[in-house]
Amino acid sequence: MKKLSCLFAFLLLALISKAQEVPQLANVMARQTISLNGDWNYIVDIQEHGYYDYRMKPSSWGFFRNAKPRKPEDLIEYDFDKSPTMKVPGDWNTQDEKLLYYEGAIWMKRDFEYLKKDNKRAILYFGAVNYDARVWVNGQFAGRHLGGFTPFNFDVTDMVKDGKNTVILLINNKRHAEAVPTQIFDWWNYGGITRDVMLVDVDPIYIENYICHLLPQPIGKKRQIEFSVKLNKAEAGKEITLTIPELKLKQTVTTNDEGKATMILTTSSSKKNAIQLWSPENPKLYHVNICMDGQTLTDEIGFRTIEAKGKQILLNGNPIFLKGICLHEEKPNGGGRANNTEDARTLLSWAKELGCNFVRLAHYPHNEYMIREAERLGIMVWSEIPVYWTIAWESEETYKNAERQLTDMIARDKNRANVIIWSIANETPHSPQRDIFLGKLAQHARTQDSTRLISMAMEVTGASNYKNRLQDNMHKFVDVVSFNQYVGWYRDVNDASKMTWEIPYDKPVIVSEFGGGAKYGLHGPKNQRWTEEFQENLYIENLSMLDKIEGLSGTTPWILKDFRSPRRVLPGVQDFYNMKGIFSDKGEKKKAFWIIKKWYESK
């Protein structure tokens, strides 16, 4: 009986969550944190029997209990501590060769020491877990999160204790038709805890998020900076002081009864304290302090304006051509998911060598290190959510999932000066349901951030007599019309010179993908698929074709480097890599690199 009531109490604890998922903490890197990165034990659970019993019901004896035999006769058929470990952050596919193709459930566990602090809350933060994550702390269920590329966090104050604590995750990266992305996509479905994990100590009332940006209109020689802040609670009367020492700015604002506040700071008109605007040539960042209750949150913020006017994109009021390249969040050398500043620096330095001032981070929000490193290097960013190909347009759940990913992408990066475009989709098939879904997403993006441009990668559907016309009902919702086209690869080999392009919208145009595959080191005639010469010729033809597009404001060729994809199976050539990189996976330059570089030099 006693045993039964114990079990009942445990079950209640496990099922009734004492934790709460809370809105994402912005600028987590600048907060007081304890890192939970490092070695985590893992158990591969092909049938999810660590979660479901033999009648497919959630089991009270799940692995989240982290049970140990107490008596010699006890039967416990798993042991985290004797199970292998892998590094977090990191995908599981490239850390254990048996898991290269694995899609399914894996349990992960880490112990950590903690000392509870008076009058502080403990927030458990995950940079990203792909795709479905259930989280337990000390055997108690903290919550579940869907979506592999955005941060989420739980308030676990009532679950952690002094001394040893344990966090356990059940992660599942199975693909589903109603998920975002859906069942099919052209990149590797890297599973696991792919970004940082940390415990964040915050005050009971803390700054949840803020936006600090330059207003477009100068006032004479002065500029205005708008700062808005939101607390985690609807607490009125909290004083928040913003200082930007280099600009000699300091101003205080008091929160309203929604726990929000906004103020405008005006820079001095003296030349000495004039604001330097962020740009690729001068990626100036200012040290910013946000103080409340004696605590300071710091950030490095750049100030610039971005707008679309007719067919032009204006950065700081001046027309700019976006010399871009697409990239996936993948380390070179078959290394799996990229997730630190060093990876970012390697990839972005290749883009810089190519002459880029812009990158399209395809096809999902990349890690924060990538965005911040690009910002320091003066590289503008297109950031996208994985609404890719055949999404379940009619599903309300799918919409909510996509909207949540969009919200979290914007919440994390809205203070990054280099992010200039939020992209809501890639190559989606036209239908009324799609239009409703994407229309809602675009409107939602504007409610989250009214200061940036919105776009999506559209498709040009077919050409007759070499006449291409872009037609997409979504044109009304975007600021920049972008489209992918594969003349010379999937269609119309050698026809590039005959093509004409009509984009009947008075908006800037970005060609968000074009290109073709080549195996580094494979040489031959220019009509021989997979040779570097074929790819080189394709770019020569494409670039002169693109030069004829009216209002062309930028290009992002597909793609910086070869990347893993389960769809690319041709032996000896692809071997599970998409070969459209202008760099090989090892960072070797293919001939096409020099063609694009030269073209960008002329822009």
Provide the binding-site residues for ligand GCB, judged by CB under 6 A: 186, 363, 426-427, 484, 513, 558, 578, 580
Measured from the CB atom, is 334 or 566 closer to ligand GCB?
566
We find the least distance from the C-beta atom of residue 490 to ligand GCB, in angstroms, to be 7
Measured from the CB atom, is 513 or 533 closer to ligand GCB?
513
Strand bridging mode 322-327 / 552-555 = parallel
Distance CA 103, CA 28 (A): 30
Contact 325, 356 (CB under 8 A): yes
We find the least distance from the C-beta atom of residue 494 to ligand GCB, in angstroms, to be 19
**Helix pair angle (368-377, 396-413), 10° resolution:** 40
We find the least distance from the C-beta atom of residue 322 to ligand GCB, in angstroms, to be 18
Contact 43, 78 (CB under 8 A): yes
Measured from the CB atom, is 159 or 518 closer to ligand GCB?
518
We find the least distance from the C-beta atom of residue 570 to ligand GCB, in angstroms, to be 13
What is the 3-class SS of 349-410, one letter each residue? HHHHHCCCCEEEECCCCCCHHHHHHHHHHCCEEEEECCCECCCCCCCHHHHHHHHHHHHHHH
> Which phi-psi region, left, alpha or beta, contains residue 537 (left: φ > 0; alpha: ψ -120 to 50)?
alpha
Measured from the CB atom, is 209 or 556 closer to ligand GCB?
556
**Helix pair angle (368-377, 341-353), 10° resolution:** 40
Q: What is the DSSP string of 214-239?
A: E-SS-BTTB-EEEEEEEESS---S-E
What is the number of the residue whose Cβ is closest to ligand GCB?
Answer: 186
We find the least distance from the C-beta atom of residue 486 to ligand GCB, in angstroms, to be 7
Measured from the CB atom, is 284 or 363 closer to ligand GCB?
363
Measured from the CB atom, is 62 or 557 closer to ligand GCB?
557
We find the least distance from the C-beta atom of residue 363 to ligand GCB, in angstroms, to be 6
Tell me the three state secondary structure of residue 431.
coil
Measured from the CB atom, is 302 or 516 closer to ligand GCB?
516
We find the least distance from the C-beta atom of residue 404 to ligand GCB, in angstroms, to be 22
| C-alpha distance from residue 404 to each of 368, 385, 459 (Å) | 17, 10, 25
Measured from the CB atom, is 328 or 412 closer to ligand GCB?
328
**Angle subtended at Cα 266 by Cα 264 and Cα 270, rounded to the nearest 5 degrees:** 175
Which residue's entry shows tokens 């759940």?
397
Q: Which of 216, 202, 208, 303 is nearest to 261 (CA)?
A: 208
Residues 6+ apart with CB under 8 A from 119: 203, 204
Measured from the CB atom, is 141 or 149 closer to ligand GCB?
149
Distance CA 601, CA 282 (A): 18
Distance CA 242, CA 202 (A): 19
We find the least distance from the C-beta atom of residue 384 to ligand GCB, in angstroms, to be 10
We find the least distance from the C-beta atom of residue 239 to ligand GCB, in angstroms, to be 48
Which residue's entry shows tokens 């809350």?
121
Contact 10, 145 (CB under 8 A): no
| C-alpha distance from residue 581 to each of 116, 186, 557 (Å) | 49, 14, 9
We find the least distance from the C-beta atom of residue 211 to ligand GCB, in angstroms, to be 30
Beta-bridged to residue 39, according to DSSP, are 87
Measured from the CB atom, is 232 or 484 closer to ligand GCB?
484
Which residue's entry shows tokens 């093509």?
499
Measured from the CB atom, is 449 or 513 closer to ligand GCB?
513
Residue 63: both structure tokens together:
């692995």
We find the least distance from the C-beta atom of residue 334 to ligand GCB, in angstroms, to be 18
Q: Which of 483, 486, 454, 453 is nearest to 469 (CA)?
A: 483
Measured from the CB atom, is 152 or 558 closer to ligand GCB?
558
Measured from the CB atom, is 159 or 456 closer to ligand GCB?
456
Tell me the three state secondary structure of residue 137.
strand
We find the least distance from the C-beta atom of residue 14 to ligand GCB, in angstroms, to be 40
We find the least distance from the C-beta atom of residue 405 to ligand GCB, in angstroms, to be 17
Tell me the three state secondary structure of residue 114.
strand
Measured from the CB atom, is 114 or 389 closer to ligand GCB?
389
Measured from the CB atom, is 63 or 489 closer to ligand GCB?
489
We find the least distance from the C-beta atom of residue 469 to ligand GCB, in angstroms, to be 19
Which residue's entry shows tokens 């950590």?
112
Tell me the three state secondary structure of residue 423.
strand
We find the least distance from the C-beta atom of residue 186 to ligand GCB, in angstroms, to be 4
Beta-bridged to residue 130, according to DSSP, are 192
Strand bridging mode 481-484 / 500-502 = unpaired
Neighbours of 35 (CB within 10 A): 11
